[in-house]
Chain A
Amino acid sequence: MTLRAEYKVKGGKLIKVALEVEGDVIKSAKICGDFFLYPEDAIEEIERSLKGARLNSDFKQILTEAVERSGAQLLGFSVEDLAAAVQLAFQSGLG
């Protein structure tokens, strides 16, 4: 099942999350949008970090660690925004 969410960041950027989910486990994640992230390819590490996460996982913690590991700098959005977008996508699947 694919769970999707669009999250509007204060200041205008849009984060679009698509999660491939089996049961309540994320199999893969895709994060798209009009934000800025440096270096750009760090997005792949961040997406990979969500693999295996569950509905009750601490997304903020997972994403913070991935951002630190990849040395990424975010502009126009925060790790909290990203975590909120992932949460929102999960909730969309709860009907």
Chain B
Amino acid sequence: MVWRFLDTGEGDAYWNMALDEAILTLRIEDKVPATLRVYTWRPSAVSIGYFQSLEDEVDLEACKALGVDVVRRITGGGAVYHECGGELTYSFVASEEELKAKRFFKDIQGSYQVICEALVEGLRKLGVNAEFKPVNDIVVNGKKISGNAQTRRRGVILQHGTILLKTDIPTMFKVLKVSKEKVSDKAIKAVEDRVTTIYREVSSNITLDNIKEALRRGFAEYFNVELRASTPTQAEIDLASEYRKRYASWAWIAKR
């Protein structure tokens, strides 16, 4: 069996979310195979979960001042600061059926587990001693290194998530309304105690390409498939261009 590996490089927040959804739609229509995509964000952006309140979670003034975009995901979960150069995002699209044929699971939590275990397999290739922590995290010695979120439509799963390379906690505190506390050294220390990064766990010599390749191999081995490097189809690009308008619209961003 051959699945697809897409490295789509840098994109802005709206394009990044639009392409994930386009892959999901076209997988539903059976026009593309199961796909692992990796990408990064330029400019840096905040993504909020489908159910989150924009005004509760995001400091829009700070985002504007810092040139940080804001986008609402179609997936639930929490707000994420996607720092340009500070993280790698992946998305994985597959039908429940084809996924179960490779690694059985019995419920939604189980599907998070198998997809996250494929990521864990990849991270271990880099020497990161990662493990899945329900509901939707990957941790190293109890510290979060990756957050993940999933939606499902007509039997097809889209899971995307971020893997931290390094953190810029002061900026994160400015753009996210994470806490009512001041941005104190103590508050920064508290986040540093709960979160870790690839650079901290291994080395800052690890490149994005190293991580992308480790994820590709991790997924291939865990699901016992070939993941063939490819590029998005014209249909995906066309559909993503359509979807991008919605993601960039205020009506969608401020929906809740």
Contact with B along A1-45 (1 / 0, CB 8 A): 000000000011100100000000000001111111111100100
A73 at the B interface (CB under 8 A): yes
Q: Is B152 touching A38 in the complex (CB atoms < 8 A)?
A: yes
Q: Would you list the 10 A-B pairs with minimal beta carbon distance, nearest first? A: A34-B78, A36-B76, A32-B53, A76-B135, A40-B50, A34-B49, A75-B108, A34-B77, A33-B51, A32-B51
B162 at the interface (CB under 8 A from A): no
Residue among A12, A30, A76 making CB contact with B256, cutoff 8 Å: A30
Q: How far, in whole Å, are A76 and B134 apart by their CA atoms in the complex?
A: 9
B241 touches A (CB below 8 Å): no
A33 engages B52 (CB within 8 Å)? yes
User: What CA separation (Å) do A1 and B149 show in the bound complex?
Assistant: 34
Contacts of B171 in A (CB 8 A): none
Chain A residues packing against B (C-beta within 8 Å): 11-13, 16, 30-40, 43, 73, 75-76
- Contact in complex: A11, B135 (CB < 8 Å): yes
- 22 A-B contact pairs sorted by A residue (CB < 8 Å): A12-B135, A13-B135, A30-B256, A31-B51, A32-B53, A34-B52, A34-B76, A34-B79, A35-B76, A36-B75, A36-B108, A36-B149, A36-B150, A37-B51, A38-B152, A40-B50, A40-B74, A40-B75, A75-B76, A75-B108, A75-B109, A75-B112
Question: Which of B77, B108, B134 is in CB contact (< 8 Å) with A38?
Answer: B108
Minimum CB–CB distance from A11 to chain B (whole Å) comes to: 7
Q: From residue A85, how far is it (CB to closest CB) to chain B in Å?
A: 13
Interface residues of B (CB under 8 A from A): 49-53, 56, 74-79, 108-109, 112, 134-136, 149-153, 256
- Since A32-B51, A32-B56, A37-B76 are in contact, a sample of 5 more A-B pairs with Cβ atoms closer than 8 Å, ordered by chain A residue number, is A16-B56, A33-B51, A34-B52, A35-B51, A36-B149
Whether the pair B108, A16 counts as a contact (CB closer than 8 A) is: no
Residue of A nearest to B52 (CB): A32
Which chain A residues border B151 with CB–CB below 8 Å?
Answer: 38, 40
How distant is the Cα of A73 from the Cα of B111 in the complex, in angstroms?
14
B residues near A12, Cβ cutoff 8 Å: 135
A33→B78 CA distance, assembly (Å)? 7
A36 to B157, CA, bound (A): 14
* CB-CB nearest in chain A for B77: A34
What is the distance, in angstroms, from B233's C-beta to the closest C-beta of chain A?
A: 26
Residues of chain A lying within 8 A (CB to CB) of residue B79: 34
- In the assembly, what is the distance between CA of A39 and CA of B152, in Å? 7
**Chain B residue with the shortest CB-CB distance to A32:** B53
Question: How far, in whole Å, are A16 and B135 apart by their CA atoms in the complex?
Answer: 19
Complex alpha-carbon distance, A75 and B109, angstroms: 7
Question: B residues within 8 A CB of A43?
Answer: 51
Q: How far is the CA of A34 from the CA of B112 in the complex (A)?
A: 16
Smallest CB–CB gap between A19 and chain B, Å? Answer: 14
